[in-house]
Structure 1
Amino acid sequence: MRKAFEEELINLHEQFYQMGLMVSESIYQSVKGFTAHDKITAEKVVNNDHYINEQQVIIETKSIELIALQQPVTSDLRRIITIMKACADLERMGDHAVSVAKATIRVKGNKKDRAIENNLAIMAEKVKKLVERSLTAFIETDLKEAKKIASKDSEIDQVAFDIHKQTLEEMKKDSELVLGATNYILVAGNLERISDYVTNLCEWIIYLESGKIVELNTHNTLDNTSFK
């Protein structure tokens, strides 16, 4: 019975990882569509979002079944709960990718700024890499890597701030840019929020190992006794 349960846990981790890769690809494609003004790619991101949602339901349903039928010990229970929580964070990342894609679909011949768009593409690549690194760290329960990844959030915040500032400056210079530029601020904001959810994943990695909820970017630690 124990071996079968461990195989179920491994399978659950694999499903989580695959969902994460789907989300990572959605992030990449959404910004690619936005900067290339490719509405077809953007529409695919929107239309494919239900696959991410379905994967979340599958993972959460399987997690509940494992808890109900296997009555796991404390450490295994914490692992299952952590996957469910982290899964919800992945789904929210996917929602932000959809928001970026919808911004692409809304654009109707607005004036564009290639320099800002290039910066958004660079930001998106950085965020995508953080998502992928956090997934690997989660699967490997790599606390050291989790802390390194979380420390990068401030860099993403700075990039978002710089793009916001750059956009406002360009809008002041050219009023024709105003309508299109508001979407630049929206996209940067969505990418920044995705980075925040990456930090959440890193915090779940710490919780998985220690049973403590640690706010990595504020240095506040709370003991959680529910699953010790």
Structure 2
Amino acid sequence: MDITSETHSQHISKQFNQELEELKTHLMAMGGLVEKQVQEAVTALLDSDTRLAERVRDNDKAVNEMQLKIDDECTRVLARRQPAASDLRLVLAVTRATSDLERIGDEACKIARNAIALAEAGRQVHGFVEVRHISEHVRNMIRDALTAFTRFDTELALKVAQEDDAVDSEYTSAMRSLMTFMMEDPRSISSILSVMWILRALERIGDHADNLAEYVIYLVKGLDVRHRNIHSLDDSSLTGKG
């Protein structure tokens, strides 16, 4: 049986209902923080704002603390309630999602570190247009994946998962372009390598957003699509055990 946003408000125990709602609320708060981390890291790069980049780096501790807190809440729910079926899937999906969100935060820190290095070097570099474009793409993926989680929306989750190929294509194209610039101007190698690391971090963020979307499908349908061709699926073709 598929589950909906109302499924987890039908328990006899109001306390259990509240615990499950708090898990989702805290996950969304963590998601909002890491999305902001990505946005600010890219802004710091484009504006050569080292202070903002340092703030992104410092805020990584808060992301890590949120992951630990949510994981502890999940452990307590498992121990106290021994949830089954869709309730168990919710707890497992939240635990998996916090891991990917924490890694998105790590990638944002990598972007911030490279932004500081580039700002201190003070050299105009190529690739910023591509960084801006891909960063907008992956931030939309994060936002949509979190929205899908909140709404138990598998159609939106599929859309997010299918977007990952477009990000991979954009990343490959940008890397080819930067390789050409390095060959034409060896003096630019150091700075362009930093931009390449930033693009790699953004590509990885897209992968983690893809994972978040797949957890929504698992949560709602009971179907693990991690090793399936996502392009062969649509919302009506998703079946699983509820």
TM-score by structure 2 length? 0.86
**1:110–1:179 CA contact under 8 A, matched in 2:** no
**1:110–1:180 CA contact under 8 A, matched in 2:** no
Correspondence for 1:147: 158
Q: Structure 1 stretches of 5 or more lacking a match?
A: none
Correspondence for 2:5: none
Correspondence for 1:112: 124
CA offsets 1:110-165 (integer angstroms, 9 cap, x no match): 53235x21221121111111101100001111111111111111111111111111
Per mean C-alpha deviation after superposition, the further-off stretch among 99-108 and 185-194 is: 99-108
Correspondence for 2:21: 10
Q: How far apart are the structure 2 equivalents of 1:215 and 1:11?
A: 27
- What secondary structure is seen at the aligned counterpart in 1 of 2:124? coil
- What secondary structure is seen at the aligned counterpart in 2 of 1:214? coil
Quote the offset at 1:102 in angstroms. Answer: 1.0
Correspondence for 1:174: 185
- Percent of counterpart pairs with the same letter? 28
- What secondary structure is seen at the aligned counterpart in 2 of 1:131? helix
Equivalent of 1:27, from 29, 38, 47? 38
Equivalent of 1:215, from 219, 223, 226? 226
Q: How far apart are the structure 1 equivalents of 2:48 and 2:174?
A: 18
For 1:198, the aligned partner's letter is A
**2:114–2:195 CA contact under 8 A, matched in 1:** no
Residue pairs, 1:11-160, within 5 angstroms: 11-107=22-118, 108-109=120-121, 111-113=123-125, 116-160=127-171
Q: How far apart are the structure 1 equivalents of 2:216 and 2:228?
A: 14
Q: How far apart are the structure 2 equivalents of 1:164 and 1:214?
A: 29
For 1:112, the aligned partner's letter is Q
For 1:51, the aligned partner's letter is A
Q: How far apart are the structure 2 equivalents of 1:90 and 1:13?
A: 13
CA offsets 1:23-81 (integer angstroms, 9 cap, x no match): 00001111111122221111101100010111111111011111111222322111111
For 1:137, the aligned partner's letter is A
CA RMSD of aligned residues (A): 2.0
Per mean C-alpha deviation after superposition, the further-off stretch among 173-182 and 47-56 is: 173-182
Q: How far apart are the structure 2 equivalents of 1:77 and 1:44?
A: 37
Q: How far apart are the structure 1 equivalents of 2:65 and 2:228?
A: 31
For 2:15, the aligned partner's letter is A
- What secondary structure is seen at the aligned counterpart in 2 of 1:17? helix
Give the paired residue count. 223
For 1:9, the aligned partner's letter is L
- What secondary structure is seen at the aligned counterpart in 1 of 2:121? coil
- What secondary structure is seen at the aligned counterpart in 2 of 1:75? helix
Q: How far apart are the structure 2 equivalents of 1:113 and 1:46?
A: 22
Q: Does 1:183 align with 2:194?
A: yes
Q: How far apart are the structure 2 equivalents of 1:84 and 1:27?
A: 21
**1:96–1:194 CA contact under 8 A, matched in 2:** yes
Per mean C-alpha deviation after superposition, the further-off stretch among 204-213 and 192-201 is: 204-213
Quote the offset at 1:215 in angstroms. Answer: 2.4
